[in-house]
Structures are given as structure tokens and as C-alpha cells.
Amino acid sequence: MSFIKTRDGTQIFYKDWGSGQPIVFSHGWPLSGDAWDAQMLFLGQHGYRVIAHDRRSHGRSDQTWQGNDMDTYADDLATLLDTLDLQQAVLVGHSTGGGEVAHTIGRHGSRRIAKAVLIGAVPPLMLKTAGNPDGVPMQVFDDIRKGVVDNRAQFFKDLTMPFYGYNRPGAKVSEAVRDAFWLQGMQGGIKGQYDCIREFSEVDYTEDLKKIDVPTLIIHGDDDQIVPIATSALMAARLVPKATLKVYEGASHGLATTHADRLNADLLAFIRG
């Protein structure tokens, strides 16, 4: 297995397949780089180098007590880009990974980056505040924290239902997809996953979005029950200077799985465009 070492000595796992222009994927919470398998296989088969890392305390990376915050996540991703000496990379982030992509560019610039893609991404801010009155109440995130502490295994299993829209009338439920989500979630460390809840809910990425100076594709399902589209993609599309917004009608938060063929085609067209 392949690892890079960060400034604080943390070992970050990554997989690196194929050759050509690099496409670098940042996964959502509480998953791992394996969440991107459908996209990595497809784009790799179309002549691209595809790379996905496991965020610290997720997947196969080291489980750390400290550093489970977005500044460190962004520094870790920047270290990956530097260590592999990637040029003209396309950064693709889902959910929390969208915050990671935005904050990496906002914090480190776009010297190595040609384009960005935000899918079901949390920016600019999920939490309901005085300045973000349509956001999600803090109680929702406190309930997530409680679920992780009380019975993480059951919480992750239950989360798959709204995550993939399997709780909607007529939905075709895949127990295998639910199992894969659960397995990825349980690979991670509870401390890092607990800390990460703050990073996807309370961190304001508005200024990061304004600093994204590369062409950016924003994709979001209008039936996303995890990251509501009104306070995420619709706002982000107005903040990113070179943004293109695509709304998937009826799509859930887990659209990289439920709408893989459509997403893959859109990614390929955007990367080639």
C-alpha cells in the first residue's frame, strides 16, 4: 500500500492508478477513498491518472488524536499534491471532501490545479446562524455526534437510508451499497470522525470559495437530504467566480453511486472541455 507522511508524521494512505492528467478525489464523511471506485475506474479507463487518499482518521490512514480539522486536512492534501509533484490536477470533492478541496485552494492556492469539482459539497456553510438563517440547526449535528458516540455501527447503517435516498417511496435499496458504506465508516477512527463533524457543519468556507480561480463544476442533487442544496450548491455557484452548476433532479447525497453513469459522463466532459 502507498502512503505519504505529513509534517506531523501522520501516514496518509492513497491509491494512484493509471497515467495522464491527474484527477485527485477527496471523499465524504465517514467514508474513504474507496467511495470513488466507480469514478476512478471510469476515468482511468479514459486515459487519466486517478488518485484518492483516505483523510486522516478515515479508512487506512493513521488515526490521530489531534489534527482532525480542516486546516490540517487541507495541508495533508497539499502535501499529497507536492509529494507526487502533480501538475494541472483536477480536484474532485464530495460532501466534506468538497470543503477540503475549497479550503486547499483557499489556503494553498491553485499552482498545481487546473480545475475543481464540488459534488454534494458542504460549502459555503451548513450550520444555521444569524448570517445563514436557512442553514441546518445545531441540534441536527449534535444528534450526529450522539449517534457516533452511542452506537457508531448502528448510526452508520441507519445513515445509509437518507444518504442514498433509499428512504424515498419506490427506491430500489441495495444492501450491498449499504454494507460498503458501513465497512468504510467502521475502518475509520471514532475520535477523528467525531471531530470531523464540526468541520463539515460549523466551518464557513465562503472566503475559500471566493478564492477558487480555476474553472469549477458544481453538481448537487435536489433531493439531497444530508447537505440541502439551497444553502450549499446554489450559494456556492454564486461565490465561485468560474462556476458551472448542474442540478440532478431527484438525486440523493450519494449520487456518485446512485447516478454513477451520469456523473462519470459529466466529469469526463468537464475535464476534457
The amino acid at residue 62 is D
Question: Are the C-beta atoms of residues 104 and 77 closer than 8 Å to each other?
Answer: yes
To the query of whether residue 174 is one of the catalytic residues in this protein, the response is: no
Question: Are the C-beta atoms of residues 72 and 98 closer than 8 Å to each other?
Answer: no
Euclidean distance between CA atoms 56 and 241, whole angstroms: 30
Catalytic residue among 224, 252, 259, 266: 224
Catalytic residue among 95, 201, 232, 252: 95
The amino acid at residue 22 is P
To the query of whether residue 108 is one of the catalytic residues in this protein, the response is: no
Question: Are the C-beta atoms of residues 211 and 105 closer than 8 Å to each other?
Answer: yes
To the query of whether residue 224 is one of the catalytic residues in this protein, the response is: yes
Catalytic residue among 27, 94, 253, 259: 253
Segments of the chain assigned E as strands: 2-5, 11-17, 22-26, 49-53, 89-94, 113-119, 216-221, 243-248
- The CA distances from residue 76 to 12, 26, 84, 164, 199, in Å, are 8, 11, 12, 28, 15
Residues with a catalytic annotation lie at 95, 224, 253
